[in-house]
Amino acid sequence: MTVMSYLGAIGAAQREAMDADERVVIIGEDVEANVYGTTGGSGKSRAAEGDFLQRYGRNRIRNTPISEEVIVGAAAGAAMTGLRPIVDLSYSSFLYMAMDQFVNQVAKNRYMFGGQASMPVVFRSAMFYGLNTGAHHSDRPYPMFMNVPGLKVAVPASPADAKGLLRTAVDSDDPVLTFEACLLWGMKEEVPEEEYRIPFGVGRTVREGDDVTVVAISNAVVEAAAAADKLQAEGISVEVFDPRTLVPLDVEGIFASVRRTGRLVIADPAHRTCGAASEIAAIVAEHAFDSLTRPIVRVTTPDMQIPFSPALEKQMYPNRSSIEAAVRRVLDLPEPDLADSMARTESARLAPR
């Protein structure tokens, strides 16, 4: 075990994958200079061994023009013909520039061609939400891609998961989109130094509890865990479940927890309409309705664009107080002091519409 940051763990997984297989290449803007911190050596080894460019050379480290459409399409074409590219698209908002390639080529080619193609390619991107980067850089667009059959979607919420899920993603013969949260970049924990993979479709129980299940996504996992710890002191037992991948989704893991607790809160930093939370709520309502003793509550970002000012942005995403309020609500407990502006916003949002 060694202590690694989330970003360091991603870098370590990329280095392992590059070392393990010559067919793995890294494609993206500013990857040569390691601008986003995942194409360098980690920690001390960076000084000793240099960045990926020195280790692997320009043939395998492809610093690109700002041309997302051809970056994504070319990675797909390369994957169909023998490479296993990892594409760094930096900000998740930039995925839209390549929407046609994602939806019409990456996701459809294997299916349309009757299985002739395989598409072993990983598209990494970082969600810069919560960092005052404004409406063009704060997107959490994973639900849009959950809506496209043929793609796999991973949302790692810890350093250990970031490393293990990325190795699985690179091994996958199908296209994987990983959505990394910048709010998690600096998070540190003990991570196995050796190579390991975390299977897709298997969630992680972050806190065990009996009273309420909180299914949380990306940075909301950290917030849900904080809420659970706080409520623990009051004798309220909250289970926090991180699905880790949204496609495939660990529905059995979610059902198992909900069957025990009978109550479900879903904390999802994406927008409310047709979000990951909507899908999880629908699945539980369809298949585990009898286990529920209270209606499901979603804690999401409202259907609103993201403002720049910290004074405005802070309230937008699920946070420990809005998750706490939701937990109290499903337990029929009094909700926190309405003088708290974030909680007020959340209460208004939770009110029936």
Partner 1 sequence: MSNPPEDATLLEMQRRMLRIRRFDERASKMVKRGQIPGTVHTSIGQEAQVVGSCMALDVHDYMTGNHRSHGHPIGKGAPLGPLMAELVGKATGVCKGKGGSLHLADFAVGSLGESGIVGSSIPIATGAALSAKVLGNGRVALAFFGDGAANQGCLYEAMNMAGIWGLPVVFLCENNQYALSTPAHTVTSGVIADRAAGFGIAGVRVENGQDVLAVHDAVSTAVGRARRGEGPTLVEVVTYRFNEHSEGLRLGVDYRDAEEKKRWLELDPIVLFRAELSRRGVATDDELDALEQEVLAEVDEAVRFTDESPFPDPSVAFEDLYTDTLAGAQR
Q: Segment 156-185, which members bind partner 1 (CB under 8 A)?
A: 172-174
Asked if 26 is part of the footprint of partner 1 (rule: CB under 8 A), the reply reads no
Q: How far apart are CA 182 and CA 161, in angstroms?
A: 15
Q: Please say which residue, 27 or 326, places its beta carbon nearer to partner 1.
A: 27
What DSSP letter does each residue of 99-164 carry, written as one string? HHIIIIIITTHHHHTTT------EEEEEE-TTSS--TTT----HHHHHTSTT-EEE---SHHHHHH
One of 8, 11, 28, 73 touching partner 1 (CB under 8 A): 73
Minimum CB separation of residue 253 from partner 1 in Å reads: 8
Which of 227, 234, 233 shows the shortest CA–CA distance to 265? Answer: 227
Among 7, 13, 74, 276, contact with partner 1 (rule: CB under 8 A): 74
User: Computed over its alpha carbons, how large is the radius of gyration of the chain?
Assistant: 20
Residue 239 forms beta bridges with which residues? 213
Per 3-state DSSP, the chain is made up of helix, strand and coil in percentages (nearest 5) of: 40, 20, 40
Q: Applying CB under 8 A, what is the total number of residues that bind partner 1? A: 58
Tell me whether residue 137 is one of the annotated catalytic residues.
yes
For the window 86-105, what string marks contact with partner 1 as x by the rule CB under 8 A? --------------xx--xx
Q: Can you tell me which of 114, 235, 334, 352 binds partner 1, judged by CB under 8 A?
A: 114
Helices (H), the chain: 6-20, 44-49, 52-56, 68-79, 99-100, 109-112, 142-146, 159-171, 219-232, 251-261, 276-287, 310-313, 320-330, 341-350
- Using CB under 8 A as the binding rule, whether residue 62 contacts partner 1 is answered as yes
* Residues of span 258-317 touching partner 1 by CB under 8 A: 283, 286-287
Q: How near is the Cβ of 216 to partner 1 at its closest, in Å?
A: 17
- Binding residue (CB under 8 A) for partner 1 from 3, 70, 135, 285: 70
Least separation in angstroms between residue 100's CB and partner 1 is 6
Which C-beta is closer to partner 1: that of 110 or that of 349? 110
- Which residues carry out catalysis? 137
